[in-house]
Amino acid sequence: MDNDLDIEFQENDVSLETQWRSLILFGRNSATYKFAFAKSLLDIINEEKTRVSLSDLSVPFSKYITDHLLISDKQGNSKSSKFLDYCRSFNKGELSVDELHYYTEKYGFVNVVDAFQNINGGRINDLFYEKNYNGKNKEIIVTDNLLKLKDNFHFISFENEVEARWNLVETAWNINVNPKLLEVKYDKKGSIFYIENNLNKRRDITSVRDALNGYQKGKCFYSFQNISIEKGSENVCHVDHFLPHRNKEIHYKYGANLDGVWNLVLINNDVHRTKGTKVPHLKYLKRLYNRNEFYIKSKHPLAETIINQTGDNKYKRRDFLQKHYDLAYNVELVKWKPKIELPGTF
């Protein structure tokens, strides 16, 4: 098995949408600025701007940061941040909007503009913008690559995916739970991931669909057809248990929670109707392994949860999946494949 699956995730598919998702899912997270910056870039795409000053960019960027600070105060690993302190002051009513925008332009973009397009020690192949700092006039020049994202089927999901990733990262920084005891739980009725603290107080994190979609590249796990995560859509995808949930008690006796993140995938309507409670063909087990390793590489509560549920190294995780796959097959004695399957990229 490849030990650098996050790199494989990007290099096997160099489409613009995959490069965008790689930045969001696998880029470094020393602060959450990149998520606010990503959401600001998505605003630019909708407005079809080609040049944006840092002054104009400070408006959406600061709003996204201040909104999140109201929910989770820790938005970075640094012990102190002038920019975040100004944002906190604004939330307390101590700064005006104009003052917030001034300090955002001065301090908010110091690292994020340069760092956003970097991953795995280098820059992405197709840049989404270029920096143009000429004296006091600082701006970014938007490339066609960024604007082309709007023409992609998956564009409508990008904002939800960024927000889900942001929620997971800030949860990891703000909860007081030992990582070895951390378990993100699945609420089937609400389709929400949540955690409980030491007092059994629940904290909802994010939509299951929003959190899973990016790691599946917006595709049905089995058929690789496009899927929708939009609430209310008649084509909204289903959250599927890879190994049949009806046998959960048998698996539980052997140390597996089938409601765990490791066993949840997104599938489209047609696939959902035909799969039912059947056990997928063995080849999809490797895909599940790869998908789970994507989470682990991305460092957030879902990663810690999968490690705690399936093993603290890749060999244990592989053996765990094989053991429970064999157990499921021995009960069902039927292996299933979708009627339609497009070429997969993980």
Q: Are strands 238-241 and 122-123 parallel, antiparallel or unpaired?
A: unpaired
Provide the 10 A C-beta neighbour count for residue 274: 15
Judged by phi (left if over 0) then psi (alpha if -120 to 50, else beta), residue 176 lies in beta
Q: Which long-range contacts (CB under 8 A, 24 or more apart) does 43-48 make?
A: 44/142, 44/146, 45/146, 45/147, 45/149, 45/150, 45/155, 46/150, 48/147, 48/150
What is the distance between the alpha carbons of residues 128 and 44, in angstroms, rounded to a whole number?
11
What is the distance between the alpha carbons of residues 48 and 31, in angstroms, rounded to a whole number?
27
At residue 137, the pLDDT reads 85
At residue 198, the pLDDT reads 62
Question: Which tens digit of pLDDT belongs to each residue from 259-275?
Answer: 999 999 999 999 999 99
DSSP tag of 247: G
Confidence of residue 161 (pLDDT cuts 50, 70, 90): very high
Of the two residues 189 and 345, the one the predictor is more confident about is 189
Domain ranges of the chain: 5-150, 153-336
DSSP tag of 278: P
The CA R_g of the chain, rounded to the nearest whole Å, is 21
